Amino acid sequence: MGGMRGSLRRPLRAVTVAAGFAVAAFAAGGAAAESVVPGTRCPVFPADSWWHADVSGLKVHPQSRKWMANMAPGSRLHPDFGPSFGAQPVPYGIPITIVSKSHAKVRVRFEYADESDKVGYPLGADTKVEGGQFHEGDRHTVVVDRDTCRLYETWATRRAGKRWLAGSGATWDLASNALRPRGFTSADAAGLPILPGLLRYEEVAAGTIDHAVRFTTDVTDRRFLWPARHQAGAVNDRDFPPMGARFRLKASYRIDPGLRADTRAVLAAMQRYGLVLADNGSPWYFQGTADRRWPNALLDELKAVPASAFEAVDTAPMMVSPDSMQARPVP
């Protein structure tokens, strides 16, 4: 398994793709205007975070072709969120729980205790768990304290009587680019936060997606690339992708103007911000929030995009510090 804050903002302009929808577009080399967690005033990490970095102008990674060959290149994208059709009590996807600073905090017993943050976690009967409380699966929790703008995430979360148990857990200051200690996991195998890589219904419906998207593949190398901090690879082979690798929908991929506006917004974001390899799982499954509003037509159109339309990019030139998610713009 699984703080420097710069001032790299540039003027924002919007390109309308259909009535009521827009795709955020920025001056060359610029960073996105700071987005917020729905229901709060908290940023989804600083605007100059690696998550918000425009990778459309980066060079293709030297290992791109070899990595792609070992990532089920004949497959297609698969949205790992949407209606569950009764297979589980809640929609597929990773839910976000918003709490106040007065929410009771509990002690969590972790399987990976040495790499988990030993603080009180605001978990309770109101906590939304991936798949539902007491369900099987990855059981991620993503909890945001709207008053302190602190993010709490856990993996393999469950209850045993009054006790809370989890595989691992981590916390972040949403106003900071600080990374976890090198070698530490989080609720994700890459040691990164989950929240900034989730597609959220509100941003997709508005057509203003300003960040990379979390995704998985089945076999990874036992290395990791900045800003990832951890790996859970099955092979020592540089021909397989490492945690933290970033993939971009090729500029040559034609986004059909006949597609839904929300589909086009997601694909435009994948060309500008790309996908982040954050965990082991089914190849080319990418994550969004658990939300009953996701339209099936959007999900079906996204499932038609071939994995072969992607390429890995070299994000090393964006690094400001190995211990920070802050990213410098690259022309």
pLDDT, tens digit, 9 for 90 and up, residues 186-221: 999 999 999 999 999 999 999 999 999 999 999 999
Question: Residue 258 is inside which H or E element, if any?
Answer: none
Q: Identify the pLDDT of residue 34.
A: 63
What's the rounded mean pLDDT across residues 229-234?
Answer: 96
Tell whether the model's pLDDT for residue 20 goes beyond 70: no
What's the rounded mean pLDDT across residues 21-47?
Answer: 66
Q: Identify the pLDDT of residue 309.
A: 98
Residue pair 33/218 in contact by the 8 Å Cβ criterion: no
Whether pTM exceeds 0.85: yes
Q: What is the mean pLDDT of the chain?
A: 90
Establish if 141 belongs to a structural domain: yes
Establish if 143 belongs to a structural domain: yes
Establish if 1 belongs to a structural domain: no
Domain of residue 254 covers 12-318
Report the range of poorest mean pLDDT among 34-43, 76-85, 105-114. Answer: 34-43
> How many domains are contained in the chain?
1
Establish if 168 belongs to a structural domain: yes
List of E strands, the chain:
12-18, 21-26, 78-79, 96-99, 108-110, 141-145, 150-155, 158-160, 163-166, 168-173, 213-217, 246-249, 275-280, 285-286, 310-313
Residue pair 312/68 in contact by the 8 Å Cβ criterion: yes
What's the rounded mean pLDDT across residues 88-99?
Answer: 96
Residue pair 154/169 in contact by the 8 Å Cβ criterion: yes
Q: Which residues pair with 327 in a beta bridge?
A: 319
pLDDT in tens, 125-152: 999 999 998 778 899 999 999 999 999 9
Establish if 119 belongs to a structural domain: yes
Contacts of residue 225, defined as CB under 8 A and 6 or more positions apart, other chains included, come to: 242, 243, 244, 245, 315, 316
Q: Distance between CA 272 and CA 257 in Å, rounded? A: 17
Specify the DSSP class assigned to residue 106. B
Residue pair 64/241 in contact by the 8 Å Cβ criterion: no
Establish if 192 belongs to a structural domain: yes
- Nearest by Cα to 36 from 264, 156, 196: 196
Establish if 240 belongs to a structural domain: yes
Q: Distance between CA 260 and CA 256 in Å, rounded? A: 9
Tell whether the model's pLDDT for residue 119 goes beyond 80: yes
Establish if 325 belongs to a structural domain: no
